[in-house]
Amino acid sequence: MSPRALLTLGGVGVVLLLVLLVTRMGDTPPPGVGDPLISGLRTDIDTLSTVRITTAGDEVVATLELRNDSWVVAERDDWPADLTRMRTLLLALVEARRIEERTADPDRYARLGVEALDDPAAAGVGVAIEHPGDSVELIIGDTGVGGDYSHVRRLDETAAWLVSGTLSVARNTGDWLAPMLLDVPATRVGRITILHPDGQELRIRRAGPDGRFELLDLPGGRELLYAGIVDPLGAALANLTLTDVAPLERVFAADIEPVRTIIETRDGLVISLLGIEHDDEHWIAIDAAIDESAVQQALLEEVLAHGAADAAEGPPTPASDAARVPADRLAAEVAAREQEVAQLQARLAQRAFRIPRHRYMQLTRRVDDLLEPANAD
């Protein structure tokens, strides 16, 4: 996606701002007032190649790079960048106008939050925007000043300015990552198996066309905590988001025994996960595969359902159930699953993903979590 495609730019707010400036300051405002914070950014947006975010101690939080028409986060093995967050930042910078020069005295920079970032206690955040042959670096200090204004200092200028807009910049690498990890709706899931290192196993399956799930191997004398408690497990991969990404070997050491979760869809996709909890962080690794027999079974159920609906037209053929599935239809569905698996593996293989705690707990349930407490007697 080109940088310009990230923006939906309008000029109404800029025009109103300039009118206000002229009204307040007369026909000849001081030099620079009303000028763009970054001249030419609106027209040069298509040439951007890198946006770098830096915090105190010159720590690089995120290097956002345009590669093959896609924005990625270099510090996280080129995981896709959060385009919504990038759009918000670039749009704010394009629209930012100089309202008032605040100080050119370096001793006063800290009061505005725009002191040099090599100071470990620096309050601001650095933004460097690069395109072939040119770059702009600035430090964004206090935001929300007097409402919708911010203090900013460009590193190629001495003066710090009050500019229009609240230039809020995320300071954590994870905040710049595209958050969507997987989205497998519960309606697609057929069976889930959770295997714990201590040997405990939880198995559920879809109980029928109503979308409810049932717990298999219910212990004798035990009851579910409440009706429907199993159903949320079917949505374990629905809108699953991440908070961080790391190389697989950095998180899953050889001596770690993970929880294993296997989610099988009704149309032949098999998602296998490894999960670990470490230092209050919850990580998973993901592998995708295809179950061709499940693909065929799903098509067979569809064919049989249509056959039942059309029973009045004549008796069924004596062919076996498997033979009722058209070969070309089966080949097309298998190819679709193989393509889906290939796309998932390209994104997910050899990576570990940190996820929110409540989603991790959903993926690693134990049977006892779903049952009434055992009778002490």
Mean pLDDT by 10 residues, the chain (377 residues): 58 46 58 91 88 98 95 96 96 96 97 97 96 87 89 97 95 97 96 97 87 91 93 96 96 90 97 95 98 93 70 46 81 96 97 97 97 78
Q: How many C-beta neighbours within 10 Å does residue 218 have?
A: 13
Task: Give the pLDDT of residue 12.
Answer: 42
Task: Give the pLDDT of residue 320.
Answer: 57
Task: Give the CA angle between residues 42, 45, 50 to the nearest 5°.
Answer: 135
Q: How many Å apart are CA 85 and CA 177, to the nearest integer?
A: 9
- Give the 3-state secondary structure of residue 36: strand
Query: Shortest CA distance to 114 belongs to which of 82, 147, 153?
Result: 153
Q: How many C-beta neighbours within 10 Å does residue 333 have?
A: 18
Place of tokens 């042959």: 133
Q: Which residues pair with 201 in a beta bridge?
A: 195
Helix (H) or strand (E) holding 335: helix 327-348
Place of tokens 């900013």: 152
Task: Give the pLDDT of residue 253.
Answer: 86
Q: Which amino acid is at 216?
A: L
| DSSP state at residue 236 | T
Task: Give the pLDDT of residue 376.
Answer: 52
Q: How many Å apart are CA 203 and CA 157, to the nearest integer?
A: 64
Long-range contacts of 360-365, Cβ-Cβ distance < 8 Å, separation of 24 or more: 360/275, 360/277, 360/282, 360/284, 362/232, 362/233, 362/235, 362/236, 363/194, 363/236, 363/259, 363/261, 363/273, 363/275, 363/284, 364/194, 364/196, 364/259, 364/261, 364/275, 365/194, 365/202, 365/233
CB 340 within 8 A of CB 291: no
Query: Shortest CA distance to 90 belongs to which of 81, 77, 102, 79?
Result: 81
Task: Give the pLDDT of residue 36.
Answer: 95
| DSSP state at residue 343 | H
Q: Which residues pair with 202 in a beta bridge?
A: 194
CB 4 within 8 A of CB 46: yes
Q: Which residues contact 220 (CB under 8 A, 6 or more apart)?
A: none
Task: Give the pLDDT of residue 26.
Answer: 56
Q: Please, how many CA atoms are within 13 Å of residue 208, restricted to the half-sphere of its CB?
A: 1
Task: Give the pLDDT of residue 120.
Answer: 97
Q: Lay out the sheet containing 213-215: strands in order across.
A: 213-215, 201-206, 189-195, 259-265, 269-278, 281-290, 351-354, 244-247
CB 67 within 8 A of CB 2: no
CB 76 within 8 A of CB 245: yes
Task: Give the pLDDT of residue 302.
Answer: 84
- C-alpha distances in angstroms, 283 versus 2, 76, 79, 353, 357? 32, 15, 16, 5, 9
Query: Shortest CA distance to 126 belongs to which of 180, 57, 65, 178?
Result: 57
Task: Give the pLDDT of residue 31.
Answer: 79
Beta strand segments in the chain, E: 50-55, 59-67, 70-73, 79-80, 98-103, 125-131, 134-143, 149-154, 160-164, 180-182, 189-195, 201-206, 213-215, 240-241, 244-247, 259-265, 269-278, 281-290, 351-354
**pTM for this structure?**
0.86
| DSSP state at residue 163 | E
Q: Which residues pair with 59 in a beta bridge?
A: 55
Beta strand segments in 236-307, E: 240-241, 244-247, 259-265, 269-278, 281-290
Q: Which amino acid is at 69?
A: D
CB 245 within 8 A of CB 175: no
Task: Give the pLDDT of residue 283.
Answer: 98
